[in-house]
Amino acid sequence: MRADATLAWALLRGSDRREWWRTSLTALGALLATFLGLAAVTVGTVSGHTQVPYGNGLLDEAGTRMGVVVALLGLLIPVLGFLGQCARLGAVHRDRRLAALRLAGATPAQVRRIAALESGFACLAGAVLALCGFVVLLLAATHTARPPLAWLGYAVVTLGVPAVAVLVSVLALRRVVASPLGWVRRTRPERSTTGVAFTAAGMLAIGGAVAALLIRGSSASAALFPLAFVAALALSGLAAVSVAGASAKLLGKRLATSSRPAVLIAAGRLRMDPWAASRTHASVLLVTVVAVGFMGLWQLTRAQTAAGVILAENADYYLGGYHLTGLGLLLALAISLGALAIGTAESLTTRRRALAAQAAAGVPRSVLRRALLLETALPLAPAVLLAGVGGMGLYATYASMMATVAMPVVLPLLTPLLVYAICLLAAAASLPLLRRAVRPAELRHE
């Protein structure tokens, strides 16, 4: 392991300008993860009832502070997905160096460890920068005295984020195999579309049972509501992710006989690697489930305030919490879209020789661009639809228990469409790389 770490550090220092931007993205992801972890530690170590001049009173009580901590930790999910995408993209771009390591006698597992450790060093730099910036903010704040437990938590977070990033990178690269001849490929077991469909249906059925239990309104269901709500949220997200992969495989088979060149190319890609969709869309779909429920609850709270159900003097407290949650969701969505764009760029760089061969054979670039967008659009549509259904189910369950006014549905219904459109724009942001990928120079090793 020590030799692998030394070699990874040497390779990182020897990176050229084309690779430093990927290292910078990895460091940025670690910076965000560390900052969120440090903020969660800061809020979690506040004890008792206190007056905090931030958050419209949300940080004054222990119960609401715990909710803020859970929300901050929840934002780590898209950040870790972002780091995983950066690890994949970096490994594919470094295919020649990985092949040289194989020729020198390194095993595939060693190659993956070295690639993961490179990400770990970049994450360590981002974590240290986040710690320095956070300490500056603490010193500038009104309340600077922190208990020793908080500083211990800061150290654990700063060192733990790079360690977790290395584990995520190893997990992301577990099926990447670099051959000694400079060819990077991925191996994955065959998965059954039928099995995944039944799994998704089972998840939704369990979520529906949980919702039915909560609607009864007993004291036991009220006490278990937070846990059941999180469980139903996770089940809805997992079902949407499963549907993304299953629909990609099904569409790849159904559209294999299309007469349109762009659709035919996209169908071939989906048929060859159907589960790439579920990998790149996972965090986006989970954010969609949360966003649909959030938009409904936000509208419902505004309606209750207008109807006088929520007193005017308490409106800032509730709406302030929703505004902070909305900012967190926007941050999670931005990180998830970044991971989606990186996933599309990874697809381009992995197939750059095949794309160059297609361009050399006379396939127009416009056809290749449409095919790349269809690879994102086709499997994402049913998955986003299912995520929207899951979010609406959670929102309707809560509204039926708590609401005393009519349930607004306009914004929750429009949210999946908006997320879908933004995802397509994020995927299109990586299309300028296509010009570089189809250069004839990419065929020099064929």
Radius of gyration of the chain (CA): 24
Whole domain around residue 272: which residue ranges?
A: 188-446
- Asked whether 310 and 381 are in contact (CB, 8 A), the reply is no
420 has pLDDT over 90: yes
Same-domain check for residues 284 and 346? yes
How many CA within 13 A on the CB side of residue 250? 16
Q: CA-to-CA distance for 210 and 231, rounded, in angstroms?
A: 8
pLDDT band at 324 (very low <50, low <70, confident <90, very high): confident
Lookup result for tokens 């909305």: 326
C-beta separation of 322 from 298 below 8 A: yes
Do 159 and 67 fall within a single domain? yes
Q: Which residues contact 149 (CB under 8 A, 6 or more apart)?
A: 45
Same domain, 203 and 151: no
Write 129-136 long-range contacts (CB < 8 A, 24+). 129/27, 129/31, 130/30, 130/31, 130/32, 130/34, 130/35, 130/38, 130/158, 131/34, 131/38, 131/158, 133/35, 134/34, 134/35, 134/38, 134/39
Confidence band for 70, pLDDT divided at 50, 70 and 90:
confident
pLDDT given for residue 187 in this prediction: 46
Last residue of a domain, one of 163, 187, 211: 187
Of residues 407 and 278, the one with the higher pLDDT is 407
Q: Are 139 and 283 in the same domain? A: no
Spell out a b/e string for 151-183, using b for 16 or more CB atoms within 10 Å of the CB, else e.
Answer: eebbeebbeebbebbbebbbebbeebbbeeeee
Are both 196 and 217 inside the same structural domain?
A: yes
CA pair distance 208, 185, nearest whole angstrom: 40
Query: Would the pTM of this model clear 0.85, i.e. be above it?
Result: no
pLDDT digits (tens, 9 = 90+) for 199-246: 555 555 555 555 555 555 544 455 555 666 666 667 777 777 778 878
Mean pLDDT, rounded, for 383-410: 80
Residues 124 and 265 in one domain: no
Q: What domain count does the chain have?
A: 2
Give the DSSP per-residue string, 192-210: -HHHHHHHHHHHHHHHHHH
Calculated CA dihedral for residues 147, 149, 155, 157, nearest 10 degrees: -110
Contact yes or no for 111/7 (Cβ under 8 A): no
Q: Is the pLDDT of residue 26 over 80?
A: yes
Distance CA 92, CA 96 (A): 9
**Domain identity same for 394 and 408:** yes
**8 A C-beta contact, residue 431 and residue 331:** no
Does residue 199 share a domain with residue 162?
no
Token representation of residue 161: 């984020």
Q: In this model, does residue 264 exceed pLDDT 80? A: yes
347 shares a domain with 260: yes
The residue out of 165, 187, 209 marking a domain boundary is: 187
Q: Best-predicted range by mean pLDDT among 8-22, 83-97, 291-305? A: 291-305
Assess whether 194 and 324 both reside in one domain: yes
**What does the pLDDT read at residue 196?**
52
Of the residues 136, 155, 187, which one is the last residue of a structural domain? 187
Does 271 lie in the same domain as 360? yes
Distance CA(312)–CA(329), nearest Å, equals 26
Please tell me which of 54-63, 300-309, 310-319, 421-430 the model is most confident about, judged by mean pLDDT: 421-430
Closest CA to 117 of 186, 183, 81, 163: 163
Burial class (CB in 10 A: 0-12, 13-18, 19+), 367: middle
Q: Would the CA dihedral through 54, 58, 62, 66 be positive or negative?
A: negative
Let me know whether 280 and 216 are in one domain. Answer: yes
Q: Specify the residue for token string 């190659």.
A: 111
- Give 424's contacts (C-beta < 8 A, 6+ positions apart): 373, 376, 377
Judge whether residue 407 has pLDDT over 70. Answer: yes
